[in-house]
């Protein structure tokens, strides 16, 4: 099945009620099957409802990434997976922090050098593990 | 109360913020926005309640810095990589006293560390540094920060957290 709709006028008229936009999409057979299956699982009967729900979900995902938030799924056992979706990364803000200078004493630099050159880092504390999970 | 953490924006209300520390109040109220938007020497993130998203309940400020390799004492240089050491400075972290004890500090440092890890993944960074008030050293220690020796006893305690430790925590 192809999601057959025709793109009509996108721009809303200046005056009067807004017209509904129509879309036509040519889906590959695999995508078509996938969409049918999803509609069945979600108990959606119309393509319009399907598109509307998909749009709502996508809009939410875009707004979250625009804020720089990650989208994470968590299993019952607590295993987390971060959604990496290249198109969403286009809207994520660049995370570049400004650069400043810090004053150090000689003893601080010695101490820092020891810490930085350590072969192995300290193990994370429980609070740190919780912080990265929360 | 649903807490969210956002980058500081012009519409955030900071005038009534009170963490019981004049320097930290003053920074948020007078300097944070200017430093972020005009002279770019620190980016601040604020905790707000989703129900009243303008009122700032807590904040932290991050900036990047580096230590030139030749600034280190010579006897240590051999053990260091042949580059300047890039680091992230957790420059400020404060919670409004009216909202203390509700886990806001934990939420703020969690977000600060997640952001730091993202920066480390994107542009490279070796560690996170903070200058902790003496009475807050144990709080930072809980998150794995270790004291850097050599700070003046009367001033804040400089502390270090290895990015590899933070990354390992994410994998747990």
- Nearest CB among B91, B127, B168 relative to A124 is that of B168
Q: Which candidate from A95, A107, A118 shows the least CB-CB separation from B122?
A: A95
Give the B window 11-30 contacts with A, CB below 8 Å.
Answer: none
Contacts of A113 in chain B (CB under 8 A): 72-73, 76-77, 79-80
Burial class of residue B154 in the structure, from the number of CB atoms within 10 Å of its CB (0-12 exposed, 13-18 middle, 19+ buried): exposed
Q: Which residues from A are below 8 Å from B7, CB to CB?
A: 67-68, 93
List, by residue number, the catalytic residues of B.
140
* CB pairs < 8 Å spanning A and B: 148
Whether B109 and chain A come into contact, CB under 8 Å, resolves to yes
Which distant-in-sequence residues (6+ apart) come within 8 Å of A126 by Cβ? none
Is residue B161 pLDDT above 50, yes or no?
A: yes
Q: What is the pLDDT of residues A9-55, one digit of tens each?
A: 545 455 556 778 888 888 899 999 999 999 999 999 999 999 999 99
Cα separation of A72 and A117, whole Å? Answer: 33
pLDDT band for position A8 (cuts 50, 70, 90)? very low
Give me the torsion for CA of A107, A113, A119, A121, rounded to 10°: 70
pLDDT at position A96 over 70: no
From chain B, pick out residues whose CB is under 8 angstroms from the CB of A112: 67, 72, 85, 148, 160
Residue range B130-159, pLDDT digits in tens: 999 999 999 999 999 999 998 878 889 999
Collapsing DSSP to helix, strand or coil, B128 comes out as strand
Q: What is the pLDDT of residue A7?
A: 46
User: What is the average pLDDT value for chain A, to the nearest integer?
Assistant: 82
Domains along the sequence of chain B with CATH: 3-171 (3.40.630.30)
Complex ipTM: 0.90
Q: Which long-range contacts (CB under 8 A, 24 or more apart) does A84-90 make?
A: A85/A61, A88/A61, A88/A62, A89/A65
């Amino acid at each position: 099945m192809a999601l057959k709709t025709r793109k009509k006028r996108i721009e809303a008229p200046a005056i009067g009620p807004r017209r509904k936009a129509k879309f036509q999409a040519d889906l590959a057979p695999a995508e078509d099957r996938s969409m049918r299956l999803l509609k069945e699982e979600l108990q959606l009967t119309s393509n319009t409802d399907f598109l509307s729900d998909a749009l709502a979900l996508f809009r939410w995902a875009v707004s979250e990434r625009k804020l720089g938030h990650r989208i994470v799924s968590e299993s019952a056992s607590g295993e987390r997976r971060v959604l990496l979706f290249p198109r969403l990364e286009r809207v994520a803000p660049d995370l570049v922090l400004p650069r400043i200078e810090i004053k150090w004493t000689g003893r601080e630099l010695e101490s820092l050098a020891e810490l930085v050159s350590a072969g192995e880092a300290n193990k994370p504390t429980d609070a740190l593990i919780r912080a990265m999970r929360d | 109360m649903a807490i969210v953490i956002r980058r500081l924006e012009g519409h955030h209300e900071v005038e009534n913020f009170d963490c019981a520390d004049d320097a930290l109040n003053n920074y948020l109220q007078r300097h944070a926005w200017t430093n972020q938007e005009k002279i770019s020497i620190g980016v601040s993130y604020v905790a707000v309640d989703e129900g009243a998203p303008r009122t700032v309940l807590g904040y932290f400020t991050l900036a990047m810095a580096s230590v030139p390799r030749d600034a280190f004492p010579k006897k240590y240089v051999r053990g260091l990589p042949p580059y300047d050491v890039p680091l992230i400075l957790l420059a400020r972290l404060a919670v409004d006293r009216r909202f203390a004890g509700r886990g806001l500090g934990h939420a703020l440092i969690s977000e600060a560390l997640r952001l730091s890890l993202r920066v480390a993944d994107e542009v490279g960074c070796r560690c996170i540094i903070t200058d902790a008030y003496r009475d807050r050293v144990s709080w930072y220690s809980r998150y794995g920060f270790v004291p850097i020796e050599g700070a003046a006893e009367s001033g804040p305690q400089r502390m270090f957290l290895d990015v590899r430790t933070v990354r390992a925590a994410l994998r747990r």
